[in-house]
A and B are shown apart, each in its own frame.
Chain A
Amino acid sequence: MGFFLETLIGGLMAGMLYSLVALGFVLIFKASGVFNFAQGAMVLFAALAMARFAEWIPGWFGLEGSYLGTAAAFVVAGALMFVVAWLIERLVLRHLVNQEGATLLMATLGIAYVLEGIGSTLFGNDIYKIDVGMPKDPVFLFEEVFPGGLLINKEDFIAALIAAVLVGLLTLFFQKTTTGRALRAVADDHQAAQSIGIPLNRIWVIVWCVAGLVALVAGVIWGSKLGVQFSLSTVALRALPVVILGGLTSVPGAILGGLIIGVGEKLSEVYLGPMVGGGIEIWFAYVLALVVLLFRPQGLFGEKIIDRV
């Protein structure tokens, strides 16, 4: 029982991080109808910026060994992500208003490659460290109930907590603010939103800025766990089954989808993996998502699409 609970908790905590990355996809899709394939590259770019600024800024301003340097690096990396968002809107999206979804998707694919290339040119190709003081050692609870105790990874726990807070804040932003409502209006129909005076370009800049911020937080969390390196861009692939499962237009869907995928892949690896040789968790997540699609093509929480013919 203890082992099952450990796997379950581990899956939930991993799932919360997937939700965070999936949220980046959902935000941009909701506001602009664009499936942003560059989300993974944004995570990598943001993490690289954070890691290198955390290295450079203390040296420039004599802040070595102080968390002030790390905080300053976070602010500068955040500002850089805003610049990236502005440039994406200015140079790419502005010219693609009212184009087919597939065109926009391909454009984001291009953005992904450009960001990866510029990221490694500006910040280097090595493994970089992000030290935000996350504890690395585990804690064992209920040792009297379960033999060996119930293992909780403190770092994963804190990361999941941060992700949960951010997800909560973004949900509020979308549901309760004027800008959030404007974002949703733009997602429904570009032309209709423009006709009632919603500034499309500004909305797109805002939403890409928010997605950039989400990418930065995800990058810091994953970078602190794994070191900042090229593989971070593949983290986005972990979020794809989440958005398939949860639906591309639903914030709660991204959250619940993340948790289901996180738990599903860990339990499948541990309990089904040994029967088929192991190493199944990545593709099993997609199996889970595709099974849902069989019954609910719009995902668990996605909006039902009805076209009149």
Chain B
Amino acid sequence: MNLRKLALTASLGAFMLSAIASTSAVAATAKEQFFPVLVTRTGPIAPNATPWANGFIDYLKLVNTKGGINGVKTVFEECETGYATDRIVECYERLKGMHGGATAFQPLSTGGTFALTEKAPIDKIPLITAGYGRSESQNGAVFTWNFPLLGTYWVGSDVAIQYIAKKLGGVANLKGKKIALVYHDSPYGKEAIPVLEELSKKYGYSVQLLPVAAPGVEQKATWLQIRQNRPDFVLLSGWGVMNLTALREAQATGYPRDKMLGNWWSGAEPDVADVGEGAKGYSALTLQHGAERNSKVVKDILAALYAKGQGTGPKEDVGSVLYMRGVLSAMLGVEGVRKAQERYGKGKVMTGEQVRWGLENLDLDQKTLDAMGFAGVMRPVQTSCLDHMGSSWVRVHTWNGKNWEFPSQDWYQADANTLRPMVMLASGKYAEEKKLKPRTPEECNK
């Protein structure tokens, strides 16, 4: 046997041994709850989506350092989507059956959510879309596998109008005002429109709709129109580079940044850091949390992971806005499993169907949240079979030129009287279109 053959045989032997060893390892750690992680670490969206992925994974690791979910360790697998809907679907198909089956999917894309909404019921896997996705999927009777936990774009639009009304001294002063919406020309960006139009009928303001083609690097014409029409406020529903460009153009056309309000995907560090002082005064809605570098959960992550060199991303990102959104998203999935275990057996691995029950019965009160390290980060969430959103707490943070800060401690909640009929109408239309029979409260308890 010559040297080349010897090396080849040795490599083959080593590979087979390692394969056997890894199979044994899987068998030895069978009590694992699998969390697929759809990430966008490449392409134009990467600066925004990467901190989310790092926060998500760090939280899963943190849970393991604390003994897992009642002894069940979390295990995760990343799949790169590049923020492309086709690749999101491809990742979903690839991951759904791994490690005994996926707990839940979180696509971090409204387009992706639209695509997966029809697949999830077939595979019986919940879709958690915390702060994005289809607004009408709050109705759990129709969207039985979607969970737009914490809030939807409709919540955002309603709160944006409440915030503007407060700045103007009351809703009566909205009459005759001009509000422009600069939005990403995609299903995501368009989600804000129905509520703004509905409320305009009620309060008498006018809405100017200004779509921006993705990725949003060219907005000169948009901002010249804003300069011409001089709206009283500009709302921004952007994502990634679009936000930064909007702020640059606002500066270049002299539109006051303190009259601009972004939604919660338009108010993170990558959206403003490069503009720096030029974005000073710009505000954005936050879905409960903002940048939470002093929170207990962040301190726990730093101590348990980063101090030991086990953190997923750069240490300086820990606690940033989008990192925290990843942390919260992972936490909601983990708590869905924990709740499901209360019914189906503590210390057991839960199926997608069981996790759905857990997500439909979430009851995270303030005491529980505080104990988990989320004091000051978020307020209680309580879901039900028919309400898959659970809460609609929103705050507004403002960029001071260097950091996001909360100038006031006001918490807003969306007006259910406005949103509920819209949710019922839109979800009813969806059910009719897809020939779905909505679940009844009795069916929920089965």
Question: Could you tell me if B253 and A138 are in contact, using CB atoms closer than 8 angstroms?
Answer: yes
Question: Could you tell me if B244 and A7 are in contact, using CB atoms closer than 8 angstroms?
Answer: no
A231–B245 Cα distance when bound, in Å, is: 11
Q: Which residues of B contact A279 (CB under 8 A)?
A: 185, 211-213
Distance to closest chain B CB from A267 (angstroms): 8
Distance to closest chain A CB from B83 (angstroms): 11
Query: Which of A60-68, A205-213, A248-256, A269-277 is found at the contact surface with chain B?
Result: A269-277
A129–B276 Cα distance when bound, in Å, is: 11
Query: Would A231 and B252 be within 8 Å (CB), given that A120-B42, A125-B46 are in contact?
Result: no
Q: Which of A137, A227, A281 contacts B221 (CB 8 A)?
A: A281
Question: Could you tell me if B211 and A155 are in contact, using CB atoms closer than 8 angstroms?
Answer: no
Question: Taking the complex as formed, is A164 at the interface, i.e. its CB lies under 8 A from any CB of chain B?
Answer: no
Q: Which of B252, B253, B274 contacts A129 (CB 8 A)?
A: B274
Distance to closest chain B CB from A258 (angstroms): 14
Chain A, residues 230-263, CB within 8 Å of chain B (1/0): the string is 1110110010000000000000000000000000
Question: Could you tell me if B44 and A281 are in contact, using CB atoms closer than 8 angstroms?
Answer: no
Give the contacts of B184-217 with A (CB-CB under 8 A): 185, 209-213, 215, 217
Question: Taking the complex as formed, is B400 at the interface, i.e. its CB lies under 8 A from any CB of chain A?
Answer: no
Could you say which of B41, B220, B274 has the most chain A C-beta atoms within 10 Å of its C-beta? B220
Question: Could you tell me if A231 and B274 are in contact, using CB atoms closer than 8 angstroms?
Answer: no
Question: Could you tell me if B224 and A3 are in contact, using CB atoms closer than 8 angstroms?
Answer: yes
Question: Could you tell me if B221 and A7 are in contact, using CB atoms closer than 8 angstroms?
Answer: yes
Could you say which of A227, A231, A232, A282 has the most chain B C-beta atoms within 10 Å of its C-beta? A231
Q: Which residues of B contact A227 (CB under 8 A)?
A: 241, 244, 274
Question: Could you tell me if B274 and A278 are in contact, using CB atoms closer than 8 angstroms?
Answer: no
Question: Taking the complex as formed, is A136 at the interface, i.e. its CB lies under 8 A from any CB of chain B?
Answer: yes
Question: Could you tell me if B254 and A281 are in contact, using CB atoms closer than 8 angstroms?
Answer: no
Question: Taking the complex as formed, is B248 at the interface, i.e. its CB lies under 8 A from any CB of chain A?
Answer: yes
Interface size class of A (residues with CB under 8 A): 35 or more
Question: Could you tell me if A136 and B274 are in contact, using CB atoms closer than 8 angstroms?
Answer: no
Question: Could you tell me if A278 and B217 are in contact, using CB atoms closer than 8 angstroms?
Answer: no
Q: Which residues of B contact A89 (CB under 8 A)?
A: none
Q: Which residues of A contact B212 (CB under 8 A)?
A: 279
Q: Which of A138, A230, A273 contacts B44 (CB 8 A)?
A: A230
Q: Which residues of A contact B162 (CB under 8 A)?
A: none
Q: Which of B41, B185, B222, B227 contacts A125 (CB 8 A)?
A: B41
Could you say which of A14, A225, A232, A265 has the most chain B C-beta atoms within 10 Å of its C-beta? A225
Q: Which residues of A contact B231 (CB under 8 A)?
A: none
Q: Which of B210, B213, B215 contacts A231 (CB 8 A)?
A: B215
Interface SS of A by simple majority: helix
Q: Which residues of B contact A283 (CB under 8 A)?
A: 213
Question: Could you tell me if B209 and A234 are in contact, using CB atoms closer than 8 angstroms?
Answer: no
Q: Which of A155, A229, A278 contacts B252 (CB 8 A)?
A: A155
Q: Which of A126, A136, A232, A266 contacts B220 (CB 8 A)?
A: A266
Question: Taking the complex as formed, is B218 at the interface, i.e. its CB lies under 8 A from any CB of chain A?
Answer: yes
Q: Which residues of A contact B43 (CB under 8 A)?
A: 230
Q: Which residues of B contact A129 (CB under 8 A)?
A: 274
Question: Taking the complex as formed, is B366 at the interface, i.e. its CB lies under 8 A from any CB of chain A?
Answer: no
Question: Could you tell me if A230 and B185 are in contact, using CB atoms closer than 8 angstroms?
Answer: no
Give the contacts of A62-120 with B (CB-CB under 8 A): 120
Closest to B314 in A: A126
Distance to closest chain B CB from A168 (angstroms): 24
A234–B214 Cα distance when bound, in Å, is: 10
Question: Could you tell me if B221 and A270 are in contact, using CB atoms closer than 8 angstroms?
Answer: yes
A274–B248 Cα distance when bound, in Å, is: 23
Question: Could you tell me if B221 and A273 are in contact, using CB atoms closer than 8 angstroms?
Answer: yes
CB<8 Å pairs between A and B, sample of 18: A6-B227, A10-B224, A126-B47, A127-B47, A148-B227, A226-B245, A227-B241, A230-B46, A231-B44, A231-B241, A235-B217, A265-B221, A266-B221, A269-B222, A278-B185, A278-B211, A281-B218, A283-B213
B residues bordering A, Cβ < 8 Å?
41-44, 46-47, 50, 185, 209-213, 215, 217-218, 220-222, 224-225, 227-228, 240-241, 244-245, 248, 251-254, 270, 273-274, 278
Known: A138-B252, A156-B252. 14 other contacts (CB 8 A): A6-B227, A11-B220, A125-B42, A126-B270, A127-B244, A136-B248, A151-B253, A226-B244, A229-B47, A229-B241, A265-B218, A265-B221, A270-B221, A281-B213
